[in-house]
Structure 1
C-alpha cells in the first residue's frame, strides 16, 4: 500500500497519522504539502492511497487557499467562502492524478458547507436541529425567527469550523443575549478563544451583518442535557461507517469546543446517565451519519443528547474531526483505527458498499418554513 498524506508537514495531525502507519509496520507515507498542492505540484499517481488532512493552522496555506495577496492577521475572520473554494479546488488537483482518495471530494464539499451538510443529513432522516431558510442580515434573521416562533438559534458561518464566527443567540422582544467567539475591532473581526457575551442589540446586529456576507446557516438552539453544572455533547469519530471513538465536551456556556477552555467529561458517566438504550440509539444515528458520506474513511460527528436524555440530535459533521489526542479504543487512537481499517479489509468493504449506493449529493434543502426534524428517541 503506497500511502500519501496531503497536509501541513509540521502539523501534529500529519505526525500522528505517520506514527500510526509506522506502528502498523507499513512504509512511511509520503507527505505532499498543501502549499505545494496549491502551487501546482504534480498530484499523487494512480495506485497511491491518499489521506487528505486539514489545511488549517498555517498562515501561508490560508493565503493560498484564499488567493489573497497577503496572509490574514492572526485569528482574523476573513475569506471563509474563498477558503472553501480553494479547498475544493485543491482536492480536485489531488484527485487529478487518479489516486485513491480516502476523503471523497463530493463528501468534503458537503461536509465543509453547513447548509449542504444539513440538507444531506435531513434527506437521510438523521435527527438534526431545524434550520431557517437563507438569511442575509440581522433584520431578516429576526423576521425569520419570528415566523418560525423561535427565540433561540445558533448563527453559523456556512464555511466556518471550530466555532469560528458562531453566535449563540437568544431573543425576547427587543432584548437580546449573544455568546460568540467573535472579537470585533475597528480593523476587522477576529476569532477569540474567550467567548464574549453581548446584550446590546445594535452590537449583535452589527456582528450578524458583518459575517452575513460569508454566507450563514441558522439552526434552532436545542437544549442540551447536562452533567453536574455543565452542558455536554459528544464528539464521535466514525471509521469505515462504524463509531469507534468518543470524547465528552463539557461547558458552562453554549459553546462546547474543547479549544475554548472547556473540559473533557466522563464518557462512562455520560453513558450510564443516558442508559444503554439511549446510547445504542445515538450510535445507530452515528452510523446513519457516516452512511451519508459513504466514500470517506472517517467523519467527526458532534452529537448532543437533549434535556431528559431520551432524545438526541446531530449538531455538526466534520471532514477533519478525528484529532482526539489520547482517546483510545481497544488500545488504538483514531489514526491507528483508520490504518487498521485500511489493512483489515473494512475500508475495501465500506468502499464497495458505497459504490452500490445511489449518489447522495445534491439533496434538497429543508422547506422554507424551516420545518423541524424530530430528534430521535431511544
Structure 2
C-alpha cells in the first residue's frame, strides 16, 4: 500500500496561511488537497474522522479567536496570560487527535503529539536540550513566584540581565528582557501594560515592543505573568550585523537543516512580527566561515534529534557576540512559516520553500520504506 497515493489531513485553522501553503505544496507534487480538521472542533469535543491510511499533520491553533477562547477561556485574543490553561487544553486536544489517528487503520501522524506538547513548555524543552548536551542559555532552576522572588534569585545567581519568558508562550508573547544596574532598571517587552482602573492590571500583546523603566510597572508585569509559570534564562549576548542583533531560525526537516533565515532587530526580540527584519544570510555565513557555519547547523540538527518523532522543527539559534559561541533559544513545533524562503543549496532542498521540502521528504520516506 506504500505506493498508493496518500490522503493528507491537517489539524489546523481553515483558511490559515500555513494550511494554504501546505495545500499548495501538495498540489505541486500532484497530490490532492488535504482535508482540514478545525482546531475549534477538536477543542469543542466534536467527532474527529480520519480516513484510513491518511497522513495527519498537526498545525498551529493560532489565528482563530474561537479556538483561543476554548484554549484559554473567553476574553480578548490580544490578552497575555492563561498560558497554563492554554497548554492543558492544547495537550488534551492533541491526545484526542492521537486517539482518532490510532482508530483509523493505517493512518499515522507526521509529528509526535507528546513532543509537540514538550516544545510548548519552555521549561521541559530546555531541560530536554540540556540533558542531550545541546548548548542552551543558563536558566533559573526554581519556580519564580513573582517579581521580588525573581530579583532575589537573580541576585543569588549573580545575574543582572535575564530573559523572562512565559512557560507556555509562543511568538514572543509574554516575554520581558530585563536589565538591572543598581537601582536602575530597563525592560523591553512584547507586553502592553494597561491599568483600566486602580488595582487592576491587564496585559496585552504589543507589536510596538515598549520599554519600561519604572519598577512598579515591571513588577506588575512579572507578577501578572508568574501564576501561569515562568522560564527565566540568563541573557545570552547576541552577535550583531549592520547595527542589528540577530539570531537564526533554522528549519530542520527529517533531521537535516534545510532552511535558514536571519532575524535582525534593534530590539532584544528578533521576531519578524515584532518589527524584526530578514537579514543577509550570505553575509552571516561569510562572517562565521565554513567551519563555524557547519557547527551551527550540527547544533540545530542535535536540537531536532531531541524530538525524533517530529518530521519538522524550527530551531532558534543564537550566535554569541564574539561569533564563536552558539545557544539554542527555542525549538518550535510550528516553526516553518517562512514564505518565499528557498532551501539551503547544500541541503537538498534548494529552490523549495519549507512546505514543498516537507512534502518531498514525506514522499521520499514513503518510497524508501
- Could you say whether these structures have the same fold, taking a TM-score greater than 0.5 normalized by the shorter chain as the test? yes
From 314, 324, 334, the counterpart of 1:320:
334
Q: What is the rounded CA distance, in whole Å, between the counterparts of 1:321 and 1:345 in structure 2?
A: 21
Please provide the CA RMSD for this pair.
Answer: 1.4
- Name 2:121's counterpart in structure 1: 113
- Name 2:54's counterpart in structure 1: 48
Uncovered stretches (5+) of structure 2, i.e. residues with no partner: 1-5, 197-201, 344-349
What is the aligned residue count? 346
- Name 1:124's counterpart in structure 2: 132
* Residue 84 of structure 1, CA deviation: 1.0
Residue pair 1:44, 1:94 contacting (<8 A) in 2 also: no
* Structure 1 residues 253 and 42, CA gap change in structure 2 (3 angstroms): closer
* Residue 174 of structure 1, CA deviation: 2.3
* Residue 78 of structure 1, CA deviation: 3.0
Alignment of structure 1 residues 74-223 onto 2, 5 Å? 74-97=77-100, 98=102, 99-133=107-141, 134-187=143-196, 188-223=202-237
- Name 1:252's counterpart in structure 2: 266
Residue pair 2:193, 2:217 contacting (<8 A) in 1 also: no
**Could you report, residue by residue, the CA deviation over 1:103-122 in whole angstroms, capped at 9, with x for unpaired residues?**
21110111000000000000
* Structure 1 residues 347 and 152, CA gap change in structure 2 (3 angstroms): farther
- 1 or 2 for the larger relative contact order (CA 8 Å, sep ≥6)? 1
* Structure 1 residues 347 and 57, CA gap change in structure 2 (3 angstroms): farther
1:331 and 2:351 are equivalent in the alignment: yes
TM-score when normalising by structure 2 = 0.91
* Structure 1 residues 341 and 82, CA gap change in structure 2 (3 angstroms): same
* Residue 186 of structure 1, CA deviation: 2.2
**Could you report, residue by residue, the CA deviation over 1:199-257 in whole angstroms, capped at 9, with x for unpaired residues?**
11121111101110110000000110010111111000000111000110111111100
Alignment of structure 1 residues 299-310 onto 2, 5 Å? 299-310=313-324
* Residue 42 of structure 1, CA deviation: 2.3
Tell me the secondary structure at the aligned position of residue 336 of structure 1.
helix
Tell me the secondary structure at the aligned position of residue 255 of structure 1.
coil
Q: What is the rounded CA distance, in whole Å, between the counterparts of 1:203 and 1:186 in structure 2?
A: 10
Tell me the secondary structure at the aligned position of residue 246 of structure 2.
strand
**Could you report, residue by residue, the CA deviation over 1:281-306 in whole angstroms, capped at 9, with x for unpaired residues?**
01000110110000011101100110
* Residue 346 of structure 1, CA deviation: 7.6
* Residue 44 of structure 1, CA deviation: 1.7
Tell me the secondary structure at the aligned position of residue 193 of structure 1.
coil
Residue pair 1:92, 1:105 contacting (<8 A) in 2 also: yes
* Residue 259 of structure 1, CA deviation: 0.4
Alignment of structure 1 residues 228-267 onto 2, 5 Å? 228-267=242-281
From 63, 66, 75, the counterpart of 1:60:
66
Uncovered stretches (5+) of structure 1, i.e. residues with no partner: 350-378
* Residue 347 of structure 1, CA deviation: 9.7
* Residue 46 of structure 1, CA deviation: 4.8
TM-score when normalising by structure 1 = 0.89
- Name 2:364's counterpart in structure 1: 344
